[in-house]
Each structure stands twice: as structure tokens, then as C-alpha cells.
Amino acid sequence: MKPSLGKLYLIPTTLGDNEPLEVLPITVKNIIDNTTTFIVENEKTARRFIKKISPEKVQSSLEMFSLNKFTQESDLPSFLEPCLNGTNVGLLSEAGCPSVADPGSDVVKIAHQQGIQVVPLVGPSSILLALMSSGMNGQGFSFNGYLPIDKSERKHELKRLERLSLEHNLSQIFIETPYRNNKMLEDISNTLSSGTMVCVACDITLPTEFIKTKPASEWSKNTEDLHKRPSIFIIHKS
């Protein structure tokens, strides 16, 4: 008899080095306690997180598939073979929620194609938490990922997003590589119209959390060092 299909659990993690159960519901621990097969971005950090939230778990019993920029697309279906044999699989984010500004959506798509139930678990999303605390338009917004690295291209993109915000009343959300955060904020304050509102949400859920919304012109006086601190940027012009 063919076994029932296993489920694909989308497992969020903490956004930084805090205690997992401070920001994650007990359901996440329960699922990890009862799962031995995981799809992960980085095996070392995934094992560290699993050990922290489920210390009694035997690490040698874990099976892990690596999903990162080096993973071949042709390998993805094999990651879900345990589900086809009746075993649950956990897709574990490196930080926050899987498949949102994070690897995993291609695996989720294959799961749907193969009739595997996809179960998203509750956990912190830096994008939504930043938007919630920004005071900007939670009814209409757009997430844009990373902006161009080239200075002139980045400034052009900032102006384009500002224009879209004004024309469609959409808050525009984006991120930057943490070691370029200070430069990004400098470009924002020098490029956008002085009255355009800018939210910077940094180290969300951590003791060092910093969230401020104020006009672009006022960010030129910023004294908060964002260097190497995970940050979300949101702009809105009205």
C-alpha cells in the first residue's frame, strides 16, 4: 500500500541571537521535535538553531538538504522525496520566514505540483513587523528586495519607488546588505524629496531594536549606526 504523503512545514526562525521561544510559538518547537528531515540554507546554523530549540534532539539523526545559490534546480525535486514516502520535511529559514525574501519558493511550488500539503508556521517576518511599526500604508505596499549596488542606478531606483508611492499610494519596502546600510540611508536622505517619509527598522525583535519614521531630510542627521545590523527600509510619499 502506498504510504500517505508527508507534509512540508515552512519553519520560521528568530531574526537574531535571541531565545527562540521569546518570539516563536510552541508549535514551532513541537514540529521541530518531531521532524528529522530538513531543507536548509546553511547546515551549520540550522543545526545550531535546532539544538537551541530542541536540545534533546539527536543531531546525528538529522537529514539535511542544502538550498542556497549553489543548489541546482534539478536537485530540488529530490528534496521532497521523503514526503512522497510518508515523511514530513521542514523547510527552515536562515532568519525569519521561509520563501519570503528567502530561498524556498521553488521547493514550495514543486510541493504543490506533487500534491504535498504545505503548512506555514507562525513566526517573525521582518518585512511585516517593520511595516506594522512604520505608520505607513498597511493596505497598499510593495516589497522590492535589494536595490541596485551602483550608486547612480540606486538613486534612479529610489526616485522611481518614490514616484510609484505618490502615484499609487503604495508604501515601498526594500532591504540592503547590512554592511551597506549606512550608505543606503545616506543615499535615501540625499535623493528623496525632503518631505518623503522614511522608516528604518533595525534589529527587529532584538534588545537593540531601533525603529524610527521621519521625513527624508531629517535622516541626514542620523546618529544611529546601522552597520552590519539587519535593517528594513520603507518610504512613502503623499
At 67-113, the pLDDT tens digits run 998 999 999 999 999 999 999 999 999 999 999 988 899 999 999 99
Give residue-wise pLDDT tens across range 15-25: 999 999 999 99
Give residue-wise pLDDT tens across range 119-129: 999 999 999 99
pLDDT computed for residue 40 by the predictor: 97
Residue 130 near residue 213, CB atoms below 8 Å: no
User: Which CA distances in Å does 93 have to 72, 101, 164, 221?
Assistant: 18, 10, 31, 35
Give residue-wise pLDDT tens across range 175-229: 999 999 999 999 999 999 999 999 999 999 999 999 999 999 999 999 999 999 9
**Is residue 60 over pLDDT 80?**
yes
Give residue-wise pLDDT tens across range 32-58: 999 999 999 999 999 999 999 999 999
pLDDT computed for residue 101 by the predictor: 87
- Tell me the residue type at 68: N
What is the pTM (predicted TM-score) of this model? Answer: 0.93
pLDDT computed for residue 21 by the predictor: 93
pLDDT computed for residue 69 by the predictor: 86
**Is residue 1 over pLDDT 60?**
no
- Quick one: cell of 99? 520563501
CA terminus-to-terminus distance, the chain: 62
pLDDT computed for residue 2 by the predictor: 57
